[in-house]
Amino acid sequence: MRFQLSSGLSIVVCLGCFSAFLLKYLSGSGGKKKEDVEKETGLGLIKKKNENFEEWYSEVVVQGEMIEYYDISGCYILRPWTMAIWETMQAFFDAEIKKMKIKNCYFPLFVSPAGLKKEKDDIEGFAPEVAWVTKSGKSELEVPIAIRPTSETVMYPYYSKWIRGHRDLPLKLNQWCNVVRWEFSNPTPFIKSREFLWQEGHTAFATKEEADKEVLEILELYRRIFEEYLAIPIVKGKKSESEKLADGLYTTSVEAFVPNTGRGVQGATSHCLGQNLDITYENEKGEKAMIWQNSWSYSTRTIGVMVMVHGDDKGLVLPPKVASIQAIVIPVPSKDADTHVIFDACLKIVAQLSEAGFRVEADLRDNYSPDWKYSHWELKGVPLRIEIGAEGLEKKQVGCVRRDNCVKVDIPVVDLVKEVKDMFDKIQQNLFDVAKQKRDASIQVARTWDEFTVALSNKKLILAPWCDEHEVEENVKIRTKSAIGAAKSLCSPFDQPELPEGTLCFASGKPAKKWTYWGRSY
């Protein structure tokens, strides 16, 4: 076949080759393998999770459109894909604490130097991380103003003002806000950032029994966030004296674990502060008494843990309960098929599933092939892909592909709502089961120091008998200090294995008092 160009030049094209090209083009994927599509478009991750975890993680949170790097180190733009996850967790937690008669409030971002000094014990652990405002325009401030690293110093002076008598108790407040913690090295999106979002609850009671009860109720809500929403197994337990909140009575936590790095992650904490804050009131007997206080919080760090635990070499893997889009509908055009009919069928499926309460969208962009779209939505971690083509429409069925295990099944359109709900439940459970299996396979019991050091070098979550002495824990940190950090206690689980009489501490050789999880942590 010869084509005459306006310039007078002519080109000759083999008709057979041209027909083959046209056929491939109309097929939607250009006849290319998926790897070729990813190579041409830049889709797909370069780094492998098991080969270079840190770089894989940095790549997946950006390419998965969760964050964008900002021009201030340690600060990140949280994109809508992230905020949707945060809002889902927020909606659950906010509704639950309101059942507990906890009310939301908001305190200022700024803290006076006098406020910091007055609550020096509460702020002690955060002192190196406090950021200061020192100028207004070109003028130096007469008194620098701190930006909150936490809100105890802001809130508690007003608790003292508001709580005068027993009728003012309990006082139970929570706020959703951002905090700033500045001085650290090696920032990591979600896990370690200079500014992050969180909720912080601060409550006051007349009795220790009330405070103790709330500590565990809140901790159970944190467990539910991790296990029921993010599909991440955790351990509930109590922190050691070294690791508890400074000046608090005791600290409880939910602890997650990342097998790829051999590091624990403190997912959320619920503290009993005791009576250390010197806020008094007049009790029912007309006597001066001191209140019992709690504080508790979880943050956007939870999202980073989810990425680390579930993500793979294709990108994010999102649990259906928190995914912004639970299912993506993709048209698959073919030669001689009526594209408009396929697009209309996609929109009808979206409407049908949306009416059933699912978060579903269709990708009808005509400038991308189906293969490109498959890779794109896999990278973003959408739990379910629904493929609709001419052949499927004739059979009145659609193809469904799970993100967690890549299994594809054909489902009759008439059964789609029921089957999609069933698949979401199975995906959610499977993500938890797989994560728990990997976590449990990483747990190693160490009864001696030699066993402990071998397990630590093998990136294990170590369960060891311990004498529960502060000096011994500090010595463990010193003896295991290295370029990648020292080992420390993560928590002593509430669910304690049997401790036979005569069991000795792995580190000191003294009589052991409890089992405790140890390891390196983020």
* DSSP assignment of 81-123: HHHHHHHHHHHHHHHHHHHTT-EE----SEE-HHHHHHTHHHH
At residue 246 the predicted structure's pLDDT band, cuts being 50, 70 and 90, is confident
Give yes or no for residue 208 having a pLDDT over 90: yes
Which residue, 431, 331, 446, is CA-closest to 391? 331
Q: Which of 371, 277, 309 shows the shortest CA–CA distance to 30?
A: 371
Q: Provide the pLDDT for residue 116.
A: 77
CATH number of 327-427: 3.40.50.800
Give residue 20's pLDDT: 40
* Mean local confidence (pLDDT), 64-75: 96
User: Taking the domain 442-520, which CATH number applies?
Assistant: 3.30.110.30
Q: Give the model confidence (pLDDT) of 14-64 as tens digits.
A: 444 444 433 333 334 434 444 544 444 457 899 999 999 999 999 999 999
What burial letters (b/e) apply to 219-231, b meaning 16+ CB within 10 Å? bebbbbbbbebbb
Length of the chain: 522
Domain ranges of the chain: 59-108+156-310, 327-427, 442-520
pLDDT over threshold 60, residue 67: yes
Higher pLDDT, 394 or 116: 394
List pLDDT tens digits, range 281-340. 999 999 999 999 999 999 999 999 999 999 999 999 999 999 999 999 999 998 888 999
pLDDT at 124 (0 to 100):
58
Task: Specify the pLDDT at position 17.
Answer: 43
- One fold for both 59-108+156-310 and 442-520? no
- pLDDT bracket for residue 168 (50, 70, 90): very high
- pLDDT tens digits along 140-167: 999 999 998 888 889 999 999 999 999 9
Dump pLDDT digits (tens) for 411-435: 999 999 999 999 999 999 999 999 9
Estimate the share of the chain in helix, then strand, then coil, as percent rounded to the nearest 5: 35, 30, 35
Say what the pLDDT of residue 16 is: 42
Reported as a single tens digit per residue, the pLDDT across 361-381 is: 999 999 999 999 999 999 999
Residue 154 · residue 114 · CB < 8 Å? no
Look at residue 10 and tell me whether its pLDDT is greater than 80. Answer: no
Arithmetic mean of pLDDT, 241-259: 95
pLDDT score, position 117: 74
Task: Tell which CATH classification among 3.30.1360.30, 3.90.79.10, 3.30.930.10, 3.30.420.40 matches the domain 59-108+156-310.
Answer: 3.30.930.10
Residue that wins the pLDDT comparison between 253 and 277: 253
Instruction: Give the residue-averaged pLDDT of 464-489.
Output: 96
Cβ-based neighbours of 205, under 8 Å, separated by 6 or more: 169, 170, 211, 214, 291, 292, 293, 294
pLDDT tens-digit series, residues 386-407: 999 999 999 999 999 999 999 9
pLDDT at 2: 46
Share of the chain above pLDDT 90, in %: 83
φ/ψ bin of 500: left (φ > 0), alpha (ψ from -120 to 50), beta (otherwise): beta
Q: What pLDDT was estimated at residue 344?
A: 97
Judged against a pLDDT cut of 50, whether residue 502 lies above it is answered with yes
Taking residues 471-493, what's their average pLDDT? 95
**For residue 7, is pLDDT > 50?**
no
